[in-house]
């Protein structure tokens, strides 16, 4: 899922300062933690309160969209609710912000979140961890289902590097060396031989930006 | 000699002079807090283990247990006053855990007027109080509403009350008061799911301390046999797809807006686990303080805290049970985490001091009032700081 973190309130209040009525839209899609109607209502109240402390009345109405990055869902759920507001503030990732900008060309839209990465949620430690770099050239079949592109700071295809020590990474000794994890896992699965083949450099043409796929 | 003031006031004490060391209290105590000393033969109470359920108090044949909360005198005093106020000869005694709402009681028993008595556990009501209500106050009928036995916050409270009612009914019948003078029922409050609103995030299933929540075909489902009504899943549901009976989000919102408007400044809203402090049945707080009792601190919703602040309440005090006492396993701990996280956001606009989380237990009845007083002083300080700016 797409992992986001809330922008500082001051930043949000600054860009909302020209407006008196905004719609705060949650997203039930893949943002983690789920930034649905509860978060919209809670943040909406905090923004109203903070605005009042700055000496200004700002009214925040709230809603949520099943998936803001879907142009049809974004348009149909948000358009009827934007009649009485001057701007939309969204709890979605950067995709939601841009989808709204496209489907509602006359309404200014602002992000309440910074979009961080594609991450996995680890419930046991209550952490969200980057696991996929969306590189467009998946090699997980050779690496025991563990991605060195996203998780090795050097994105090495043939690791580990000389900086791996006691299973930890030289860049951040708090973190596991992902190549150490890959080797241990392949060993356990008795598939270590897949690493005998040297992986050639990645073909960066594979992911021409901006990406576009026809459904 | 220890100075008297350094001893905290405790809610339950054993009066050695009257104690006959019969050990009934120690056999009924659900928490192994009362034991007979094998050497001296004296009955000893370990207050740290005591959950203040009052079952020992209501069971002691020698009146050798002293209880500060809901003791016989205050119950009798309340009943006398309430009898005049409500002018009815039906008494409804209900556990806060199963029936916080009078309208629901009317529906359950099919009665329209009654004298209400809401207590933390019906197991703490001594038989004498029931008999006194019938013989001296002229009550014709007593309705008792307990929690389901496996739901009872004090484990044995509901069962003890049920047995007591059955025995008293036999006695009352023999004395000519008629059959089933005491009508005893059980009821528990549970979580309901709106599957249309559920987004299948799995928070409820992951966090439920009782394994009652599951994802079925992508949406939440609550096993009502296992649900203990703590409300943690409700507070953590990002889609507002869950509701806890009698503590529905909208109902709490409207209480908050009503209470916010009637409080004198500086206003303090207390969101309290109803097992963390026992008010007197007729307690009146200062007009700048209002309390919302909740089934567990787990139902303290950050959304409701911000709502109270946005409605103009100056401070919100959250009173939870100490983590070790929490009967919803993780309720108090999770509540602490959620409040701490909200305070971080509020810190960005200078309002973090307006919200305070404290742990209190009814075994030390003063602590809640001390916390409230300290918080009040802090809020007054914050307000005068702001006024000076």
Are B309 and A9 a contacting pair at CB < 8 A?
A: no
Give the domain-ending residue among A68, A88, A116.
A116
Q: Structure pTM?
A: 0.92
State the pLDDT at residue B93.
96
Note the pLDDT tens digit of each residue in A54-96: 999 999 999 999 999 999 999 999 999 999 999 999 999 999 9
**Which residues are CB-neighbours of B132 under 8 A, at least 6 positions away?**
B76, B79
Residue with the bigger pLDDT between A213 and B1: it is: A213
Same domain, A107 and A152: no
Same domain, A158 and A93: no
CA distance linking residue B120 with residue B364, whole number of Å: 16
Same domain, B254 and B381: yes
Give a yes or no: residue A168 inside a domain.
Answer: yes
CA distance linking residue B285 with residue B275, whole number of Å: 18
Give a yes or no: residue A209 inside a domain.
Answer: no
Chain centroid to CA A69: how far? 12
Average per-residue pLDDT for chain B? 93
Same domain, A103 and A147: no
Same domain, B237 and B257: no
Q: What is the DSSP letter of A35?
A: B
Q: For residue A52, give the nearest of B128, B113, B351, B93 by alpha carbon.
A: B351
Same domain, A66 and A164: no
Same domain, A9 and A98: yes
Same domain, B264 and B381: yes
CA distance linking residue A184 with residue A173, whole number of Å: 18
CA distance linking residue B17 with residue A68, whole number of Å: 72
Give a yes or no: residue A127 inside a domain.
Answer: no
The total number of structural domains in chain B stands at 4
What is the band of B387 on the pLDDT scale with cuts at 50, 70, 90? confident
Note the pLDDT tens digit of each residue in A120-170: 999 989 899 999 999 888 999 999 999 999 999 999 999 999 999 999 999
Looking up residue B60, the CATH number of its domain turns out to be 3.30.70.20
Cis peptide before B360 (omega within 30 of 0): no
pLDDT at B1 over 50: no
Give a yes or no: residue B102 inside a domain.
Answer: yes
Same domain, A6 and A97: yes
Q: What is the DSSP letter of B174?
A: H
What is the band of B32 on the pLDDT scale with cuts at 50, 70, 90? very high
B307 → closest Cβ in A10, A26, A45: A45
| Phi/psi of residue B378, nearest 5 degrees | -65, -45
State the pLDDT at residue A7.
98
Give a yes or no: residue B18 inside a domain.
Answer: yes
Q: How far is CA A74 from CA A60, A87, B255, in A?
A: 18, 15, 34
Give the domain-ending residue among A116, A150, A174.
A116
Same domain, A156 and A83: no
Same domain, A103 and A156: no
Cβ-Cβ contacts under 8 Å, B345 against chain A: 6, 9, 46
State the pLDDT at residue A205.
76
What is the band of B6 on the pLDDT scale with cuts at 50, 70, 90? low
B238 → closest Cβ in A9, A38, A45: A38
Mutation for B interface: A4, A29, A37, A55, most B CBs within 10 A: A37
Give the domain-ending residue among B52, B67, B82.
B67
Same domain, A111 and A139: no
Helices (H), B110-238: 127-135, 157-174, 203-207, 232-236
Expressed as residue numbers, the domain containing A161 is 135-200
Q: How far is CA B370 from CA A106, B332, B352, in A?
A: 55, 20, 20
Q: What is the DSSP letter of A153?
A: T
Mutation for A interface: B207, B310, B336, most A CBs within 10 A: B310
Span B99-121, average pLDDT: 87
Same domain, A76 and A151: no
pLDDT at B100 over 80: no
pLDDT at B39 over 90: yes
The total number of structural domains in chain A stands at 2
Same domain, B279 and B353: yes
CA distance linking residue A78 with residue A27, whole number of Å: 11
Are B348 and A64 a contacting pair at CB < 8 A?
A: no
Beta bridge partners of B94: B118, B145
Q: How far is CA A164 from CA A19, A99, A140, A161, A169, in A?
A: 53, 42, 20, 6, 5
Same domain, B212 and B298: no
Does any CB of chain B come closer than 8 Å to the CB of residue A46? yes
Give a yes or no: residue A173 inside a domain.
Answer: yes
A53 → closest Cβ in B303, B306, B349: B349
Same domain, B55 and B145: no
Give the domain-ending residue among A85, A116, A147.
A116
Cβ-Cβ contacts under 8 Å, B342 against chain A: 42
Q: Which two tokens stand for residue B316?
A: 């919100």
Same domain, B275 and B382: yes
Q: Which two tokens stand for residue A189?
A: 């699965």
Q: For residue B333, give the nearest of B273, B382, B387 by alpha carbon.
A: B273
Give a yes or no: residue A17 inside a domain.
Answer: yes
Q: What is the DSSP letter of A163?
A: T
Expressed as residue numbers, the domain containing B237 is 191-244
Same domain, A13 and A95: yes
Mutation for B interface: A43, A50, A53, A122, most B CBs within 10 A: A50
Same domain, B159 and B131: yes
Q: Which two tokens stand for residue B236?
A: 């953590």
Same domain, B302 and B339: yes
Give a yes or no: residue B285 inside a domain.
Answer: yes
Same domain, A8 and A109: yes
Does any CB of chain A come closer than 8 Å to the CB of residue B322? no
Cβ-Cβ contacts under 8 Å, B219 against chain A: none
What is the band of A31 on the pLDDT scale with cuts at 50, 70, 90? confident
Q: Which two tokens stand for residue B375?
A: 């918080």
Strands A59-65 and A21-27: parallel
Same domain, B223 and B275: no
CA distance linking residue B162 with residue B118, whole number of Å: 17
* Percent of chain B clearing pLDDT 90 (strictly above): 88
A199 with A139: CB under 8 angstroms? Answer: yes
Span A34-60, average pLDDT: 96
Looking up residue B105, the CATH number of its domain turns out to be 3.40.50
Give a yes or no: residue B1 inside a domain.
Answer: no
């Amino acid at each position: 899922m797409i992992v986001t973190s809330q922008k500082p309130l001051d930043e949000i209040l600054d860009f909302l300062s020209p407006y008196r009525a905004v719609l705060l839209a949650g997203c039930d899609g893949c943002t983690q933690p789920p930034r649905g109607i509860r978060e919209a209502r809670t943040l909406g109240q905090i923004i109203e309160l903070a605005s009042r402390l700055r000496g200004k009345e700002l009214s925040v109405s709230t809603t949520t969209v099943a998936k803001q990055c879907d142009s049809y869902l974004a348009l149909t759920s948000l358009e009827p609710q934007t009649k009485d507001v001057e701007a939309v503030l969204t709890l979605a990732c950067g995709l939601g912000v841009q989808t709204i900008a496209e489907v509602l060309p006359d309404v200014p839209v602002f992000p309440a979140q910074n979009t961080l990465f594609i991450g996995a949620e680890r419930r046991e430690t209550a952490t969200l961890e980057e696991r996929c770099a969306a590189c467009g050239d998946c090699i997980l079949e050779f690496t025991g289902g563990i991605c060195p592109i996203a998780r090795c700071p050097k994105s090495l295809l043939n690791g580990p590097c000389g900086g791996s020590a006691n299973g930890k990474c030289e860049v951040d000794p708090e973190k596991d060396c992902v190549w150490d994890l890959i080797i241990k896992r392949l060993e356990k699965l008795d598939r270590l031989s897949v690493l005998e083949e040297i992986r050639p450099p990645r073909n960066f043409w594979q992911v021409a930006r901006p990406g576009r796929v026809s459904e | 000699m220890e100075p008297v003031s350094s001893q905290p006031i405790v809610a339950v004490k054993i009066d050695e002079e009257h104690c006959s060391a019969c050990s009934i209290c120690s056999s009924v105590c659900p928490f192994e807090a009362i034991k007979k000393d094998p050497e001296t033969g004296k009955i000893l109470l370990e207050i740290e283990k005591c959950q203040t359920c009052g079952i020992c108090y209501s069971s002691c044949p020698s009146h050798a247990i002293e209880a500060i909360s809901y003791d016989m005198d205050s119950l009798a005093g309340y009943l006398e006053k309430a009898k005049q106020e409500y002018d009815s000869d039906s008494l409804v005694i209900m556990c806060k855990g199963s029936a916080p709402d009078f309208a629901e009681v009317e529906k359950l028993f099919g009665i329209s007027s009654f004298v209400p008595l809401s207590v933390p556990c019906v197991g703490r009501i001594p038989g004498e109080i029931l008999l006194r209500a019938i013989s001296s106050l002229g009550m014709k009928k007593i309705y008792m509403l307990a929690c389901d036995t496996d739901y009872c916050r004090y484990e044995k409270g509901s069962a003890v009350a049920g047995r007591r009612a059955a025995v008293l009914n036999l006695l009352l019948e023999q004395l000519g008061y008629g059959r089933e003078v005491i009508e005893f029922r059980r009821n528990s409050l549970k979580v309901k799911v709106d599957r249309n609103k559920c987004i299948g995030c799995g928070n409820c299933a992951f966090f439920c301390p009782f394994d009652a929540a599951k994802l079925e075909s992508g949406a939440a489902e609550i096993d009502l046999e296992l649900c203990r009504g703590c409300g943690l899943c409700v507070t953590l549901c990002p889609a507002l797809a869950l509701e806890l009976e009698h503590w529905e989000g909208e109902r709490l919102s409207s209480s908050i807006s009503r209470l916010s408007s009637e409080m004198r400044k500086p206003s303090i809203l207390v969101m309290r686990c109803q097992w963390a402090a026992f008010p007197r049945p007729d307690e009146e707080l200062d007009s700048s303080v209002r309390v919302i009792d909740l089934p567990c601190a787990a139902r303290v919703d950050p959304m409701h805290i911000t709502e109270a602040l946005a409605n103009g309440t100056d401070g919100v005090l959250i009173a939870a049970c100490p983590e070790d006492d929490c009967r919803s396993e993780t309720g108090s701990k999770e509540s602490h985490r959620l409040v701490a996280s909200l305070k971080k956001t509020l810190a960005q606009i200078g309002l973090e001091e307006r919200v305070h989380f404290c742990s209190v237990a009814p075994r030390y009845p003063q602590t809640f009032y001390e916390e409230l007083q300290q918080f009040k002083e802090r809020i007054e300080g914050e307000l005068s700081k702001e006024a000076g700016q």
